[in-house]
Each structure stands twice: as C-alpha cells, then as structure tokens.
Structure 1
C-alpha cells in the first residue's frame, strides 16, 4: 500500500518548503519510487515541484502532480459543495498514488485562495488520502511563549479533525528561543516536535532575484556571482572610508551610479576578502565609464554590478520586501535548507514515525543519500589539499552546509579566501592551512625524514617535500590531525597516492570469516581501488580500475576480497565475479588461467562468499545469458562486485559504462591503506567530490 505524507500548516509565512524538501530527502533515502502531489495550484510555474523533480530525478509527468487550480476549486466548492471538491481531488490523488510506493503531498498555502476553512480542508484531504500529517507552524517575530501556544493549537486542531500526526515542525524560530520552545513542546505535546531556527541565508534574496525584481541591467558578474545571497544592504552616500567601515559579509552595496570611488572601493575590499560582498547595485540609471567597469572586473571577477533606474528610496522599499525562494535555480539555498533540516530533525526517528516503506533494493539515489547520512552520523575530519580549485570549493560548501564532515583546505590562505569570495562561498567553518608557512612544517619534515631515512631522505630534503600539499595533507592524516584525505581533481593519481604509500602504508592483514585452515589471512597487504557504478536501477562495484596495472593471481584474489569488504561496508551485498574473456571451463590460456587460479584462492580464503570465475561480463550481470552459459551459479546473472583482470580492461570498461550508459561513478575508492586516502578523477564534478569525501569520512569511522 502506498504510504503518503501530507505537509501542511495553519497560515502563510511558515517557510514550510524547508520541511517539504527535507521530507522528500528522507523518503528518497528509503523508497525507490516517490511521487509528489499538490491538491491545489496557482497559475504559473510551481518552483518547489520543479525543484523536487530536478533534484530527485523524478520521472513523474507534471500533469499528474496536482488536483486542480484554486480558481477551479473555489467554483466547484461554491456550486457543488465541499464533498464534490474533495471527491475530485481524491480521484486525482489515487490516480497518481497507484504508481508509487510513497507520495509527498504539499498542502494548500493559505494565499488568499477564497477557500473557507482551509485548515479543515487540508485535514479532510489528508484523511481521505490515508496520509500522515506533518503540521508546520511559523515562528518568525514571535516570542517563545507565543510560538509554544500556536504549535499546541495547531496540533489540537488537526488531531480533533481525526488526523494521524506523527510529528510537528516549528520553523523560523528566533535562534535564542529555540531550546526553550523545544523543551516546552516536548513537555506538552504527545508527538516529537522539531524546532528549526530562522536562517538569514534562506530568507535572503539572491543577487539574480534582486536584478529580476528591480528590472536591473547586469553590467558585470557571472552565474556564480548572481547566485550569491544578499545577506544585508549597505547604502553608500558617504566618503569611501566611512563606507568601508559599514560593509558586512554578504552585503549588497547600493550607491548612485556616478560614485565610481565607492564602486571601486567596495570591490577592492571584496577582492581582499575584507569583507566579501554579494554585489553592487547602482541607482539613478547612471553607469560608470568603460575604464571604471574594466577596473572593477579585474578587481573582483564574477562579482555582480547591476544598474537600476530608480532612486535609492524606492529601490530600498522594493529590496526590503524581497525574500529568498527555494528553487532549482538556487542550489546553494537548497543545501542550506537541507543542512538545517537534518541538523534539527531526528531523521531516523521521523522516518520510523511516518512508517515510510523500505525498498528491497538500493537505487543509486538511495546509495548517494546513505553516504551523506552515514558520514554525518559520526562526523570526521577530511583534508582537501586542492584548496584553491573551484570545484573543490563548491564541494566544500555543500559538505559544510549539510554537516557531512569537518574540513581542512590546503593552499595559500589569502588565495583560498579570495577565490571563495569571488565564488560567493562561505568557508567560515573550514580550517585553512598554507603548508609553506604552517607551524607544522618543521615537525612534519622531521617525521617524513624519519619515515624515509632508509631511502636517504635528509631533513633539508624533507622540509621541501612536505611543503607539497599532498604530502602535507597525508602527514596530517598520519599524525591524527585529520581522519582522511581526498585529492586528485587537478593532481595525477600518482601524485595523490604516492605520499600515502610512503607515509600511511598498507593496513595490517586481518583474518576474516572463512580464513583458510593454514591460517592465511583474508586479505594481503595490497592497495587497490573500486568504483561504485550507480546505474539506473542498481549499484555495482568495479575493481581494480585505477591502481594495479597487471595483478597476478594472488593479487587478483586480494583485490576481489578487498572489494567485497568495501561493497558490504557500503550496503551492497557482495556477489563476486572475476571477469575474463571466457566463462567457466570454456577457455584456456595464461590470462584465463590467472583468473581461474585467483578464483580458487579467493574461495579458499572466504568460502562464505559467493565467488565465480572466470566469467564473462554478460554472463555475470544478465540472468538470461547466465542461464545459458553458467546455469546454477549463485553469482552469474546477479553479480554485484566485478573484478577486472587488469587495469587496461577495468579503466576502459568503467569509463565506457559511465559515458555510454549515463552511469554515475563514485571513486576511485582506495582500499588497503591504514588510513583512508582517496583519489579523484581530474574530470570530477562537484557531486563526485562530495560523495568521495563522504566515503572517505565513512572509511575513517572504521576502527584502525
């Protein structure tokens, strides 16, 4: 039976899109097929519905996502009565629900819809849909006592109308009152109550939104600059020294267009990171000359400079009525909203409360969600040596906003800050370290010289070596100043993992289930890698596609067992296929014999694992082919861990599948080191970096 969750409220201004987004995030962690239904809609685009479809890759036809328009609903209710209105909406809902395991219902928005008793309508629809109700109460500008009273009244109103209420949310509470409100509600409500503080970054309009609302002309700025949040407005009319004192982080400077001194001064302050501003808004329709604009562009590339026709007062009046919106065009706000929701909500408890069904398989999206959730559950510290790389900075912002892990970024600190300021990225909670000037450099040099003394490394040479960001980051991990490291977006694989081989070294072999009678351990001290290949309907593990060029039979067996352990650690049930160009006993030759021997060695070490080899790729993953080529096999047609015979085959196969099948590849994930260090593809996207860092943090949670 489809399980539905109905998010609703009691009035406008509650900011409940945060809760709707957060609940959707939770449902897609556990459920494969989630639908979205909005009973009543306004004319024009539905930004939240479009956001949910885009972010969660929903295949749902937009036409199925709503019941009817508000105008139509008012007419039906007036002419035919509430029962007829509800009946039609219930029919539309069930037409959608039969195709999904769970449905998120977005309640009405109390936006002057002409519908009487709107709260009662939401309650009745929830009951008719068989949906659990999550009421949201807004607390902006209210005292703790007022919020407490309103939340209790909301719970009582929906409970008296027969609704199932697994939890209640209070949003936009004054941060200083949050604990008091939470404690009061915990003492007086029979259900969990989650209290979210007011977050300025969510209420702040973006610079792009300001330009659109004021019909401004963008003179300078790129997409990243226009996506910045306008956290404050500073009006410039005084002399430059006084303006500089008034600047605040994330502010928009508003000044007449003929004040070139203030424009240049504000952008120069931004360039120095003191403080980073969101942009400059020029009034009166005046524009600086070409020379000033060229200088401004050189001072702060990407920072928006916008011209509007109005004077300062009407411009200010419009600005103060603008409020930020969650949409597919504001991904940074989305990450902030999800981070706030996850920080303030016991997500596991809520999922249990709403009784969301659990899918029997792990989809790629579920896998990606689980990575972030597991990393967040036991936060670790990851060092990123490529601190000035744009993709790394964007990934760092996502990781920090979502609370996935703590971060150190390496590189010239002023350069990192300037780059972050140009991108509008807040790195306030990250640790920034310059390896060349760090007070740790001398100690690290002494440690590296000690570790490499047998190779003739002197202290002077070590002092130079540890200035390299990858060596410095690896030593941070080795010395316990970070739990793991991720690099490789601009460095080669060798540059990333060589320091790990020299400093961290391989893990001590551990005996596992099925250790051979002779006492041979379950894994040998070899470093290998896997990719998590997120296909449309499943997650496969490919190994080794990045490290070992031509492993022998014993090494291949080691790689298979390491890969099985990694798969199991990340929720993929290991069924191991050692691949070759022939299946079973059909072929012979040195290459096939190597795979056959590796299979026998792996089975001897871990007889508890399903292992098949040699086997061709099609027989490993296609049940129809498997039935012909290897009938009766526990692995054939169902393999989840695919081990390639050499690096040439593995690397080309993963890239072919990634590009041709549209697979999302996470990795390479290194296995076999004492502490986690992971490499990135130099073509890694921001999402790739985020998920690789999450994997690294999860690896660091394992006892050494």
Structure 2
C-alpha cells in the first residue's frame, strides 16, 4: 500500500486542488488512487468540501472525516493515540479497494496550533510519504523557500525517508504563456529567465530544496480564470440579497471596481469580468452597467450598497441587462466595506462549482512531474507497521476472532476495567475469576460500567469439577489432595479451564509473578508439537515502527538450536500481527568480523534458522546498530537484505534481551506490549505488575489473536 500525505505550509495554498490534481495525474498513468481526509477543519455542518469534490470528479466513494469538534476534543484531552488509531481505521477502509491513497493533511491555522504535530504523527501512523504544498513568487524566491524550509524541519528535514518533495501552487511571476505549459523545472522552461533565477537563488541559500532527495515536483502558475470565484459565491461574504440572480453561477469575478467618482471618469472600468461595486443611490452606475451589457460587455455583476435598492421603474430601464443575465445584488454594507470584504474572499473551490474543480484538477495535474510521480508510486517502500496501525490491527483482528479469555486476577481493579473495555468493544469475551460481589463493589467504587454480558465466575463454585481432570493431566505427579490444593490458585484454575478448551486463552500477571503465571502453563498446556521450547516476544512501539524483541523473558541462555527456534517463533508471531519479518540475530559482532563462543553460537543459530525456514529473511550475526540503522547496515553488511532494515531482533541470551528492552522502553519512552509467550499449545500471556489498563486490554487482544491463529493452524493441518 502506497500512501502520500499532502501537507500545506499555510492557509490558502490550494491544498484540496493539489490533492485532486495528484489523483488525476495518477489516473493519467493508469493508477486509480483513493482519497482520504482523516480530519475535518470545517466548523459548519454538511458534507466535507474536499470529499464532495472528490466524489463528484472521480465518481468514487470515500469515508467521512472525524469532525472538527471531535478532533479538538480528543486532542485537548490527550487522546492522541486514539485519534491516530481512528485515522488508521479510515485508511484501512480505503485501502481495501485502492493500491495508492492520497491523504489530505491538516491546514496550519492560528486556531489549530496542533496541525503540524498531528500531520507529522499522521505520516508515521499511515507509513506515508509526505508531499509539501506551498505558494511561490518568482520575484521573492528566498521568501518562498524559507516557508518550505521551516515546514520541512518539522518533519525531520530531507534526511527523513518520508519527505518526498515540494509542489508550488499559485506561482506568481511566471510569463502569461506559461499558464498553458507544464512547469516542472525539468522542461524547456528551464530556459525561461525567471525560472532559472528562482531555482538558482534557492539552491544558493537552501541547497536541500530542489535537490534529488527533495525535488520541486511542479510549479503551478497562478491563473486568473481558475483562481477566481463566481458571483454566486460572494453573496454570503457581504450579506447580500439577490435583485437579479441571472447567470451568477456562470459569471466569474476577474476584477472588482469601487465606483466613487463621476461616471465620466469610471467608464473605463466597465470591462469583461468586472464586478461593479456602487452605492445603491448611484442610478448612473446602474444605467451604465445596463448599457455596457447591452453593448456585449459581459460584466461579472453589480453590487448595490448601503441605501435602499432603487425603485422598480428604474430597473425597468435595465431589462435588457436582466435578460442577458447580469447578476445584481444588494447589501446594507457600505461600498468600501463590501469591497474590503470581497478583497479577502478565499480562493477555495465551492462544493457545487464542478466546472472550476474539473479545470483546476486537470490544470494542476498537467504541472506535476510525471517522472517523479512514477518513481514515487513504483519505488520501494519499506514495509513498516506504525504503532497506531499495530494497535488498530490488534483490536480489529481480536474483534474478528470472537475468543473467550479467562482472567484469573478477576478482582484486581485494572483487570476489571480492562475486561469491561474489552467486553464493550467486542475485543474478547472476558471471564473474571472472582467473587461477583467483590467485582461489583470495586466497579462501583471506581465508576466502572460493567457490561451485562461480562462473565464473573466464583472460583469456589467450580474448583472441585477440575480435580480429576488435573490429576489425569499430571498423571503420576500429583494426587487428588494435591490437585485440590493447587486449584486454590486462580491461575492454576484458569489454566485448567484452558486445558479443557472451556476458554481460548489466559492473561495474568497484574499481581502474580511471571513464574506464577507460566509454571501452570508448562505443566498443563505444554509446548506445541512443532516446538521444543517456550519463548517470549515484546512488541516495541517505537515512534515510527513496531519492532519485535525476543527472547526477553523466558530462556536464560539458549543454545544455537534453541536460538534458531526462538527466531522462527518470533518471525511467525510478527507475521500473525501484520509485520513482515526481517530478522536480525543480534551479537556484539557483525558478519565474520568477530570470533568467540558467543558469536559462533549466533552464527550457527542463523544458519540453522535459514535452513529450517528458507522463506524468511534472516541474517546474523549483526550488531544492533548494523541491524537497525540503514547507513550503518550499508557500511558493515552491504550485501545483507536485513541489515539496516530489521524489525525482528533476536537476542543471544536473556541478560542481553531483557536489559535492551528495558533500556529502550525507559530511555526512549517507548510503549512495550508483552511479553507474549510463544510455543505453547494454547495461548497464555503474562503481564507486568505495573501494567496500565491499556496494557491489559492490548494483551487480551494479543491472546485472542493467538488463539485464532492456532485454531486456523489446526484446521489447515
């Protein structure tokens, strides 16, 4: 999936026109692109303008954006992750039917100071390339470039792999004839003096802008005929009523003139496309307008101001102008105030101006460099799953799984709240092992709304029914008395429910240790037939991508065979959650540069894993920086398909893995989801005792997805 996020540098740069032009340019290359506007900044009710224009022009459906009130409410209340997850959800709906998606970003305004920050986060969440849109003036090259440079820095500059170029809209200073010729800085217009000077000034002062890594992908000339409103678009701006609507939907305002002098000195203003603004008591202006229209001059319209509109008998003298469709408006504003209001009329295309929208779309498309566009769309995108996309996929997949998850710590407050959330959102059918009255009391005290279908089972009422089954499962190791005693532990009880297929998964650890959670699983669930050990992974939600770390919780010092198995388990776990695995076997040495038992173990494990799973991208030994940093990877392992691009990191031992995950988590303020256990016959997952409610919700979702994956695996055998 290729996604291009179009980000404006300011208000009024022609953002929607740029998006529509980009879609049309792709269509001209045979690529049908989808359109997404995740967030609306329109404060009035009704259809979103960008969406409506897209649907009219391309006869295609899209999704409604999150409205402005909801956007600002969630942002101000700190629900930024939730906003991005909603944006990912909308993106996924469009991606079902399109291979390329053009996303319209937020406009930076004085009211919405969060726009740039949210745009940058959106680019990461959607794994999108960023195309900036700005205005340009060939006579003020440095000012035009400085605006772009300021915006570019907020997205990591040209060093960022996301920033892809700048499209200059409404470019002033181009020769008139260039309005009909594509201007992409790679055409014959390089010979035009103004273009050449503009480009050279930018290169001298802002060398990054216009470079190969951040090209100027087009310069769309300012067009009088395409950037001007219809007369019908002006009425609300000046609070006017119609005396004669005429051809107001067709006539465009190329210029406007305020009539203040004697009519003898104003006749030169009565030209095609002129909007005449006059006091309503200037009958001479009304008659002159009528005469001009009768003589074949297509005035844009006439605005009569301040005084009461003229009597009907005066209009009777102007019937010929009325018949020719001259739009005439009346406003109580003074002529000067009306003229000032119209001077600051925005240039955005109204929803119903399909003619202008069509022309603008094709005009913009003709000025976008097709070679750049082709390279961008057909180029290699690193398959990255962002944290927002990961959380979204996690929830959606768990909802589809419809699994029953037991929570042995049923009277723990965070667990109760997480279970209520999961139940309400359909993430899982949760089963709390606890006294119902205790759960209800805690819920009331903490204002938790318990869904009616949330299961709460009193452990005392069901323990005895599992004694015989537990003795059978641990035949020769425990007797009935010992089984009854062990079943007093709700983790053991929940594990027995899982062993007997009464639930699909188990989540514990909010108050129990890892050993308390894992030991019953080892004894009663055991490892899956294809594996010889149980290991763990953490999903590390870095700002730009999700990494998988294994094993950071279970195996202290795996040998080469075990390390290879951990790598394979971790790769399959990554795939199950939408991450295309590129597996790095981590060591203190890269390639053949180092020797010693520790490096040899990693090297041998890499070879074993490659032989067992030739379908996977696995390389090692690799140092962490060689695995994760592209420039270091190219330097230290230039022939590796994994170096610099790894997203699954397999550590040589528990000491290294646990230390690394905690260092990254704390130092970089990264959210980690897990540990998720892998290799068991059925899913059991451990929580950190400091887990937040959201951590528990995501772990329940992980467990539900694991259960579904295992069920599908059994069906396919």
**Which TM class, normalised by the smaller chain length?**
0.5 to 0.7
Q: Is the 8 A contact 1:52 1:58 kept in 2?
A: no
User: Could you tell me how far apart the structure 2 residues matched to 1:359 and 1:505 are?
Assistant: 37
Note closer, same or farther for the CA distance 1:645–1:423 as it changes in structure 2 (3 Å cut).
same
Matched, 1:128 2:349: yes
Aligned residue for 2:517?
496
Q: Is the 8 A contact 2:584 2:649 kept in 1?
A: yes
User: Could you tell me how far apart the structure 2 residues matched to 1:507 and 1:18 are?
Assistant: 50
Quote how far apart the aligned CAs of 1:622 are. Answer: 0.8
Match of 1:4 among 31, 34, 37: 37
Aligned residue for 1:395?
418
Query: What is the number of residues matched between the two proteins?
Result: 412
Quote how far apart the aligned CAs of 1:3 are. Answer: 3.2
Q: Is the 8 A contact 2:553 2:654 kept in 1?
A: yes
User: Could you tell me how far apart the structure 1 residues matched to 2:429 and 2:537 are?
Assistant: 24
Note closer, same or farther for the CA distance 1:619–1:55 as it changes in structure 2 (3 Å cut).
closer
Q: TM-score, normalised by structure 2?
A: 0.51
Quote how far apart the aligned CAs of 1:551 are. Answer: 0.6
Aligned residue for 1:450?
472
Q: Is the 8 A contact 2:540 2:671 kept in 1?
A: yes
Q: Is the 8 A contact 2:587 2:623 kept in 1?
A: yes
Q: Is the 8 A contact 2:85 2:389 kept in 1?
A: no
User: Could you tell me how far apart the structure 2 residues matched to 1:471 and 1:376 are?
Assistant: 27
Q: Is the 8 A contact 2:464 2:484 kept in 1?
A: yes
User: Could you tell me how far apart the structure 1 residues matched to 2:240 and 2:456 are?
Assistant: 65
1:280-299 map, 5 Å:
none
Quote how far apart the aligned CAs of 1:360 are. Answer: 5.7
Q: Is the 8 A contact 2:582 2:618 kept in 1?
A: yes
Quote how far apart the aligned CAs of 1:454 are. Answer: 2.1
Aligned residue for 2:486?
465
Note closer, same or farther for the CA distance 1:57–1:583 as it changes in structure 2 (3 Å cut).
closer
Residue by residue over 1:360-396, the C-alpha shift from the partner in whole angstroms, topping out at 9 and shown as x without a partner, is 6321111111100111122111111111222212222
User: Could you tell me how far apart the structure 2 residues matched to 1:604 and 1:40 are?
Assistant: 59
Quote how far apart the aligned CAs of 1:25 are. Answer: 4.5
Aligned residue for 1:68?
none
Q: CA RMSD in A?
A: 4.3
Q: Is the 8 A contact 2:551 2:657 kept in 1?
A: yes
| Secondary structure class of the residue paired with 1:694 | helix
Note closer, same or farther for the CA distance 1:413–1:542 as it changes in structure 2 (3 Å cut).
same
Quote how far apart the aligned CAs of 1:76 are. Answer: 8.2
Q: Is the 8 A contact 1:667 1:679 kept in 2?
A: yes
Q: Is the 8 A contact 1:31 1:359 kept in 2?
A: no
User: Could you tell me how far apart the structure 2 residues matched to 1:425 and 1:501 are?
Assistant: 34
User: Could you tell me how far apart the structure 1 residues matched to 2:646 and 2:120 are?
Assistant: 31
User: Could you tell me how far apart the structure 2 residues matched to 1:79 and 1:38 are?
Assistant: 28
Larger radius of gyration: 2
Quote how far apart the aligned CAs of 1:681 are. Answer: 1.1
Matched, 1:382 2:405: yes
Residue by residue over 1:247-274, the C-alpha shift from the partner in whole angstroms, topping out at 9 and shown as x without a partner, is xxxxxxxxxxxxxxxxxxxxxxxxxxxx
| Secondary structure class of the residue paired with 1:691 | helix
Aligned residue for 1:698?
705
The answer for unaligned runs of 5 or more in structure 1 is: 65-72, 88-123, 131-157, 165-357, 510-523
Aligned residue for 2:528?
507
User: Could you tell me how far apart the structure 2 residues matched to 1:630 and 1:51 are?
Assistant: 35
Aligned residue for 1:679?
686
Aligned residue for 1:433?
457
Q: Is the 8 A contact 1:410 1:434 kept in 2?
A: yes
The answer for unaligned runs of 5 or more in structure 2 is: 1-18, 20-34, 48-65, 75-81, 93-102, 126-149, 155-232, 243-247, 254-344, 359-380
Matched, 1:585 2:592: yes
User: Could you tell me how far apart the structure 2 residues matched to 1:616 and 1:359 are?
Assistant: 21
Residue by residue over 1:58-105, the C-alpha shift from the partner in whole angstroms, topping out at 9 and shown as x without a partner, is 9999xx9xxxxxxxx99982379999xx99xxxxxxxxxxxxxxxxxx
Q: Is the 8 A contact 1:378 1:701 kept in 2?
A: yes
Quote how far apart the aligned CAs of 1:128 are. Answer: 3.2
Residue by residue over 1:191-242, the C-alpha shift from the partner in whole angstroms, topping out at 9 and shown as x without a partner, is xxxxxxxxxxxxxxxxxxxxxxxxxxxxxxxxxxxxxxxxxxxxxxxxxxxx
User: Could you tell me how far apart the structure 2 residues matched to 1:128 and 1:4 are?
Assistant: 16
Q: Is the 8 A contact 1:497 1:677 kept in 2?
A: yes
Match of 1:647 among 633, 646, 654: 654
Q: Is the 8 A contact 2:498 2:506 kept in 1?
A: yes
Residue by residue over 1:265-324, the C-alpha shift from the partner in whole angstroms, topping out at 9 and shown as x without a partner, is xxxxxxxxxxxxxxxxxxxxxxxxxxxxxxxxxxxxxxxxxxxxxxxxxxxxxxxxxxxx
Q: Is the 8 A contact 1:126 1:163 kept in 2?
A: no
1:538-549 map, 5 Å:
538-549=545-556
User: Could you tell me how far apart the structure 1 residues matched to 2:658 and 2:576 are?
Assistant: 23
Note closer, same or farther for the CA distance 1:376–1:590 as it changes in structure 2 (3 Å cut).
same
User: Could you tell me how far apart the structure 2 residues matched to 1:679 and 1:126 are?
Assistant: 57
Match of 2:581 among 547, 551, 574: 574
Quote how far apart the aligned CAs of 1:528 are. Answer: 0.4
Matched, 1:637 2:644: yes
